[in-house]
Structure 1
């Protein structure tokens, strides 16, 4: 099966519905026989995804920079925990080890990871499916703004269409399943 990387919030003080979405994402990864690739944290939605994946029998690969290990937020329950020397090497390894990407709600770190994967995909550095899970319209404002960038030619339509938008987890998995090895 495939290695699916999930980008999402690591904050602990968010609404329960987002934590539930993260747990269900992990469960679905495990139930479908996939491996979870994560940012290697045990907090917030990131921890919930990993816990849900393990509960459903998924192999979990966490990739975390030493600076976050030092803050004691490493997911030491991961089947495999790779410690990198920084955030840049973390992202590069996450991209390398993954067959597909799901982006759940999150903040700056999540957006950084999304844009890194999306940019490298639009440059054909990889051809892995990228899905933005837009549950409850979480990303509607961002998507509206990004669409204006195609009108001004700052973003090519081809690049914008390279990101799959899914309103539900079922739609997200349906979108990537035919595209992963």
Structure 2
């Protein structure tokens, strides 16, 4: 695993542990010699993780739409900063540059990015690991709702396994590194299709 995409807030949240967790995630990436791919900002949790990766001598690549360059205050010290046309191009490039995905606490954009990668994985468009860093129970409600999807028959139990989770950054990175492609059947391959009709 050479790089991980981390989705997280352009805000810092209302509690210091969120920023602490971002720094610990940056440290975990550098300790595992994994490059950071993220949204390119220098504020909020985005800035905190990038600053820590750079401080520890790691590699940090940002991808930011031109329209958000000023609003998210594009990070001037990154290893590489890609300025792209729009959000679609941003997400596609981040996915292409990454060997896996982690969502930390964030807002609507973080949720949208996380669920797009989960949907793409469920369908079989990629087979990269996806993790959720559940800082201070931030994602307890979301995890419960995803389990509710399974209970109510809108999500298959084996697709629920696509979303790994942990409360500790280093442990979550370890889980993603241990992931092996092909572990979970996807909707658009033959095996998954047979599963759907059986």
Shorter-chain-normalised TM-score: which range? over 0.9
Larger Rg over CA atoms: 2
C-alpha distance in 2 between matches for 1:133 and 1:178: 16
Corresponding residue for 1:137?
137
Contact 1:31/1:57 (8 A) holds in 2: no
- Pairing 1:97-108 to 2, within 5 Å after superposition: 97-108=97-108
Note the C-alpha offset of 1:28.
1.6
Hey, what does 1:126 align to over in structure 2?
Answer: 126
Deviation by residue 1:122-163 (Cα, 9 ceiling, x = unmatched): 111111110111122211111111111112221222221111
Contact 2:25 2:170 in 1 (8 A): no
Matched with 2:64 is 64
Secondary structure of 2:5's counterpart equals: strand
Report what 2:192 is aligned to: none
1:2–1:180 CA contact under 8 A, matched in 2? no
Structure 2, unpaired ranges of 5+: 182-198
Structure 1 residues 1-181: aligned runs within 5 Å: 1-12=1-12, 14-71=14-71, 73-179=73-179
Q: Distance in 2 between matches of 1:148 and 1:29?
A: 32
Whether contact under 8 Å (1:35, 1:60) holds in the other structure is yes
Aligned length in residues: 181
| Superposed structure 1 runs of 4+ greater than 6 Å apart | none
Contact 2:91 2:113 in 1 (8 A): yes
Cα pair distance change 1:38/1:133, threshold 3 Å:
same
Q: TM-score, normalised by structure 1?
A: 0.94
Deviation at 1:72, TM superposition (A): 5.7
Q: How much is the aligned-residue C-alpha RMSD, in angstroms?
A: 1.6
Asked if structure 1 preserves the Cα contact closer than 8 Å seen for 2:10 and 2:72, the reply is no
Kept in 2: contact 1:62–1:82 (CA 8 A)? yes
Q: Distance in 2 between matches of 1:180 and 1:21?
A: 26
